[in-house]
């Protein structure tokens, strides 16, 4: 993007953010002013670990861009001590300190009582869109941007040198944000620019001539929590989006129903089918881009198809394009009202071969027009999610974000059903609009599959937590059966689990032969059994800014072995996964960080801080390197064909006690609506700890007004078996076996064994606070 177009985009971003800013006035944040002639730099604490440094030209603050959450300043005023004298000024809270040294013209930012983390000189340069920060030598840097669909991803997660700040092309995720495991992150309020990372410097240049920035102090979890607070929290996806998605290009109603029946006959879980061009009347007049193709889907427009699929537990989502046909009713309306994007010239569409042009989604009127009556009808008759494609071809960083804003705002205006979307690039702030990212039109094959690891983790490193890919690969023909099976196993441990292929390519498990079908089916079923665990991390992402998947250095920031590790990641707090991504591999090295680990499938225990050798199955592809972290709390449900197929009245919780306290927040709600925003949810915090000859498990009283059908917890304590069990100090009845306990409707306990070794089963009532204590065999 040229500086001039970037500046235009930046100005639009500020204007649109201003329109969205609430009218309420929050209390002023504690801070101090640094006078610079007619200008002022304002330094203030907006949260206990967040510092905002803002250039105010002639005393006036610039309007925040769309990167910043419009509701940010509604937060409560944090406490800090402020002191000023002739030598400068100091701001100090329990977590953060900022010192203005007037004599040396230096702003120092860090943690009280420690050496500064960052030092800024030449403060007037902020007024010219430039920022220079000095930091300690050799700190590992992350963020700024990921990788597009085709570029080499050999850099992994670490960032250095010159980096453009951009949403980029397909698959790319970008943000004006850089962070380090050394204890801080820097967020610049801007769209379009560049950041250069040196051994001791962060230099940024933005194109609009002004610059504000935020500093977040703390570890990775604290940094991303602050990032979510400043740039905005992400709404929850519907619960069905935690399951498996089959996408296909080249399909009609009959084939769709046959494929769904194929999943159901085989009891392979499926929650979502996503349709490409086929679903809409692409190229036809009278809003063909927004309505059902009645030739391929004769029962779409009437809603009958929706009824048929609802009975099968399958949700339909469909592709959307940023362009419309010029010589149509809708095209002439766009011309009349000036809705065309200036950077988009009329050109033949590759699919319809008719002239199309792209809509200017930065225009609020164009966004409102885009969610028109035809699209509303398509939504009401079953197209309940949006797959936004190709809005990254015009070098406008916010085009995809603004396109999804049109759909998010349009759907929320007419329905309380949650918005679901996938988009082909990402710029920070987009997460506020139920925004998922997929990695673009990737190749099939093992090399392409392996490269998705760094693409996913790099996207997460800039705040794009809801990430997915075209499982199996999109281009260059079908994957081999082995490649397909391994890709499904990989995808089962990503935030958005889906498959897709090029025109007329099929990605159903049974297409790839019985061996691949078995391996893929097992992985899909494992994913489905973990839905209660996965869905709880929907809540965690919204509440804390850290989602289901994260790089290992989030939790082990001082482990040098993890600085650029893309081979494994955490799937929630309790699971580490390291998928097989090499053809014919028989032995896979897996580095396990500090702690104790247990192989999910074999039950074998490993000490952390070492590389182990995983024995891979190169014949049947039946294995997934998956390890349980000590202290794990993992709710597991019976495998269903789709989310919500059967009421979940009892939920099994796998417990692996450690000699330190660990926790998990179990979360549930109706899975469909935004009632959770008004407190309609069920949240129970759990804590687990072993104390020598006893194990304590505490369940807090539930929060929220939602009442699930859940009646009881079936707790599985792994480790030393119990000889007595109490709930809230009351002895529970002992049963002769786990089967006897399951057959009873009463609370109680039993001992036995499973693949992990000795296990104690305990049933207690759900929905109330209690403490379960096990006296274990010494």
The catalytic residue positions are 389, 392, 441
**H helix runs in 371-512, sequence order:** 373-380, 399-414, 446-460, 481-491
Q: At what angle do helices 513-529 and 481-491 cross, to 10 degrees?
A: 0
Q: At what angle do helices 304-312 and 253-266 cross, to 10 degrees?
A: 10
How far CA 549 is from CA of 192, 345, 402, 536, 573, in Å, comes to 27, 40, 26, 13, 9
In the DSSP assignment, the letter for residue 471 is B
Please say whether the beta carbons of 224 and 43 come within 8 A.
no
The answer for residues whose C-beta is within 8 angstroms of residue 678's C-beta and 6 or more apart is none
Please say whether the beta carbons of 642 and 270 come within 8 A.
yes
462: left (phi over 0), alpha (psi -120 to 50) or beta: alpha
Burial string for 417-447 (b: 16+ CB within 10 Å, else e) reads: ebbbbbbbbbbbbbbbbbbbbbbbbbbbbbe
Q: Is 4 helix (H, G, I), strand (E, B) or coil?
A: helix
Q: Which of 687, 679, 624, 699 is nearest to 660 (CA)?
A: 687
Give the position of tokens 């498996």. 244
Q: For the chain, count helices (H), then strands (E).
A: 13, 48
Burial of 252 (0-12, 13-18, 19+ CB in 10 A): middle
The answer for residues whose C-beta is within 8 angstroms of residue 543's C-beta and 6 or more apart is 233
- Taken as a whole, the chain contains a residue count of 778
Please say whether the beta carbons of 330 and 336 come within 8 A.
no
Q: Cα separation of 201 and 197, whole Å? A: 6
Sign of the Cα pseudo-torsion (667, 668, 673, 679, in order): negative
In the DSSP assignment, the letter for residue 444 is P
In the DSSP assignment, the letter for residue 371 is S
The answer for residues whose C-beta is within 8 angstroms of residue 2's C-beta and 6 or more apart is none
> How many Cα atoms are found within 13 Å in the side-chain-facing hemisphere of 30?
21
In the beta sheet, which residues pair with residue 694? 691, 775
Please say whether the beta carbons of 566 and 578 come within 8 A.
no
Please say whether the beta carbons of 398 and 360 come within 8 A.
no
Q: Could you give the angle at the alpha carbon of 602 between the alpha carbons of 597 and 607, nearest 5°? A: 20
Please say whether the beta carbons of 688 and 661 come within 8 A.
yes
The answer for residues whose C-beta is within 8 angstroms of residue 583's C-beta and 6 or more apart is 446, 480, 482, 483
Burial of 581 (0-12, 13-18, 19+ CB in 10 A): buried
Residue 156 tokens, joined: 């992994």
């Amino acid at each position: 993007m040229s500086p001039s177009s970037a500046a235009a985009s930046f100005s639009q971003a500020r204007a649109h953010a201003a329109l969205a800013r609430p009218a309420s006035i929050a209390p002023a944040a504690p801070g101090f002013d640094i006078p610079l002639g007619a200008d002022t730099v304002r330094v203030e604490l907006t949260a206990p670990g967040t510092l905002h440094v803002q250039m105010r030209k002639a005393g006036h603050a610039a309007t925040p861009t769309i990167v910043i959450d419009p509701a940010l300043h509604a937060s409560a005023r944090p406490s800090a001590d402020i002191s000023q004298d002739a030598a400068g000024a100091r701001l100090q809270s329990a977590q953060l300190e900022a010192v203005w040294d007037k004599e040396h013209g230096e702003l120092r930012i860090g943690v009280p009582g420690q050496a500064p983390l960052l030092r800024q000189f030449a403060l007037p340069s902020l007024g010219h869109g430039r920022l220079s920060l000095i930091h300690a030598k050799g700190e590992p840097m992350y963020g700024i941007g990921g990788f597009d669909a085709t570029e080499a991803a050999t850099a992994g997660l670490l960032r250095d040198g010159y980096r453009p700040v951009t949403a980029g092309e397909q698959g790319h995720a970008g943000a004006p944000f850089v962070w380090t495991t050394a204890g801080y992150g820097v967020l610049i309020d801007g769209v379009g620019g560049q950041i250069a990372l040196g051994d001791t410097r962060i230099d940024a240049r933005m194109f609009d001539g002004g610059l504000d920035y935020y500093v977040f102090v703390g570890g990775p979890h604290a940094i991303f929590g602050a990032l979510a607070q400043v740039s905005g929290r992400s709404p929850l996806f519907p619960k069905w989006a935690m399951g498996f998605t089959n996408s296909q290009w080249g399909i009609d109603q009959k084939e769709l129903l046959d494929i769904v029946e194929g999943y159901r006959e085989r009891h392979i879980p499926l929650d979502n089918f996503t349709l490409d061009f086929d679903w809409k009347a692409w190229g036809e007049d009278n809003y063909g881009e927004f309505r059902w193709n009645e030739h391929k889907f004769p029962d779409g427009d009437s809603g009958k198809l929706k009824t048929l699929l609802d009975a099968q537990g399958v949700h339909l989502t469909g592709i959307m394009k940023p362009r419309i046909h010029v010589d149509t009713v809708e095209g002439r309306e766009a011309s009349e009202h000036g809705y065309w994007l200036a950077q988009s010239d009329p050109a033949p569409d590759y699919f319809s071969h008719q002239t199309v042009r792209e809509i200017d989604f930065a225009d609020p009127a164009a966004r409102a027009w885009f969610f028109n009556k035809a699209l509303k009808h398509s939504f009401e008759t079953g197209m309940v999610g949006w797959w936004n494609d190709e809005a990254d071809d015009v070098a406008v960083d916010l085009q995809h974000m603004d396109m999804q804003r049109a759909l998010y705002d349009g759907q929320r205006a007419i329905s309380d059903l949650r918005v679901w979307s996938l988009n082909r690039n990402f710029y920070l702030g987009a997460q506020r609009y139920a925004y998922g990212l997929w990695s673009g039109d990737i190749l099939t094959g093992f090399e392409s599959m392996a490269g998705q690891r760094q693409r996913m983790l790099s996207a997460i490193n800039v705040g794009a937590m809801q990430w997915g890919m075209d499982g199996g690969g999109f281009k260059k023909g079908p994957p081999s059966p082995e490649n397909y099976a391994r890709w499904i196993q990989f995808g089962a441990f990503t935030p958005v689990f889906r498959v897709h292929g090029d025109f007329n390519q099929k990605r159903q498990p049974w297409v790839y032969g019985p061996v691949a079908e078995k391996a893929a089916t097992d992985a899909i079923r494992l994913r489905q059994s973990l839905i209660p665990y996965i869905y709880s991390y929907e809540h965690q992402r919204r509440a804390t800014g850290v989602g289901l998947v994260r790089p290992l250095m989030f939790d082990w920031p001082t482990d040098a072995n993890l600085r650029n590790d893309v081979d494994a990641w955490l799937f929630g707090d309790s699971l580490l996964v390291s998928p097989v991504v090499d053809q014919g591999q028989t032995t896979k090295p897996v580095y396990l960080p500090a702690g104790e680990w247990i192989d999910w499938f074999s039950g074998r225990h490993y000490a952390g801080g070492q590389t182990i050798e995983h024995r891979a199955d190169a014949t049947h592809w039946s294995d997934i390197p998956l390890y349980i972290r000590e202290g794990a709390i993992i709710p597991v449900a019976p495998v269903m064909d789709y989310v919500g197929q059967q009421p979940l009245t009892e939920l099994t919780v796998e417990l692996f006690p450690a000699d330190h306290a660990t926790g998990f927040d179990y979360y549930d709600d109706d899975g469909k609506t935004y009632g959770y925003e008004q407190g309609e949810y069920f949240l129970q915090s759990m804590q687990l700890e072993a104390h020598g000859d006893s194990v304590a498990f505490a369940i807090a009283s539930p929060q929220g007004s939602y009442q699930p059908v859940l009646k009881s917890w079936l707790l599985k304590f792994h480790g030393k078996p119990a000889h007595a069990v109490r709930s809230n100090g009351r002895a529970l009845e002992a049963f002769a076996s786990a089967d006897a306990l399951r057959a009873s409707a009463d609370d109680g306990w039993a001992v036995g064994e499973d693949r992990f070794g000795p296990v104690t089963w305990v049933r207690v009532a759900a929905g109330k606070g209690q403490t379960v204590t096990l006296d274990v065999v010494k």
